[in-house]
Amino acid sequence: MCVGLDTDLDKIPRHLLDSEDPVFEFNRQIIDATHEYAVAYKPNIAFYEALGPRGWESLAKTLEYIPKNIFTIADAKRGDIGNTSKLYAKAFFETMDFDSITVAPYMGEDSVKPFLEFDNKWVILLAHTSNVGSADFQLIIDERDHRPLYEHVIIKSREWATTDQLMFVVGATRADKVERIREIAPENFFLVPGVGAQGGSLEEVSKYGLNSECGLLVNSSRGIIYVSQHENFAKEASKEAAKIQQEMARLLDQYT
Ligand SMILES: O=c1ccn([C@@H]2O[C@H](COP(=O)(O)O)[C@@H](O)[C@H]2O)c(=O)[nH]1
């Protein structure tokens, strides 16, 4: 299970606003309360960069605070011409020491490859996303082979990377497509957002997304971190994280 740190000053409990760095204080308490259930944390970079230099500072402190054995994802959805991607990669893999970054594949090979040039770092490529608008481009069918665009993204990008440096984003709201996606990417992990607040089904994605080779990194952000607005918010978040983690353990037993 991955806990999404989409930390929004308008949504965190009011009493934290008195602290010196409310965003970090919120994250600190959430990490303390959930780390025993989490294999990954995913700060969504938008929530930090929107706050300017203070937000970047909160992000850096959060990254430093996450226990070193837990995988970190910069949900930044970057990707640009090669020399620019190279600097995005440097920003998230060197200046900040994230283990992975989400990347948008729209600009193709030279925009993705710079992220793959770092040892022991992962690219998590947007394949079939959880949002409604994903249908606008990702489902366009290529008349030559009748494949939707997102299948091309997966098939082509697998030629650029080994399976231990490439994951795909597959929304939990896309459960009907997971069986097919697993067929074309049998050895890649999937980052699965969209459970909880977006209504995706953990049971359905697990049925087809898990196999004996690899699995799913299921993310929940709002469903865990904003479960309570009270002083004991972290305890409530911990209970929610435990619930999801236990459900995942059950599904892992059932489907592998
Ligand atoms: O397809 C995608 C890709 C990324 N996301 C991000 O994941 C979290 C989901 O948050 P919830 O509160 O659990 O809905 C958020 O940071 C999104 O930007 C996604 O939802 N879908």
**ipTM confidence:** 0.99
Report, as an integer, the average pLDDT of 19-42. Answer: 98
Domain locations in the chain? 2-255
pLDDT digits (tens, 9 = 90+) for 178-199: 999 999 999 999 999 999 889 9
Q: Domain spanning 2-255: which superfamily?
A: Aldolase class I (3.20.20.70)
CA of 198 to the centre of ligand 1 (A): 8
pTM tops 0.80, yes or no: yes
Please give the backbone phi and psi of residue 98, each rounded to the nearest 5 degrees, phi first.
-70, 150
Token representation of residue 154: 């997966």
Question: Of 11, 42, 68, 77, which is the active-site residue?
Answer: 77
Q: Which two tokens stand for residue 153?
A: 């993204």
77 is catalytic: yes
CA torsion sign for 91, 92, 93, 94 is positive
What confidence tier does 212 reach under pLDDT thresholds 50, 70, 90? confident
Atom index in ligand 1 nearest the CA of residue 220 equals: 13
Instruction: Please tell me the residue having the least CA distance from ligand 1 atom 18.
Output: 44
- Give the three-class secondary structure for 100: strand
CA dihedral 173, 175, 176, 178 (to 10 degrees): 130
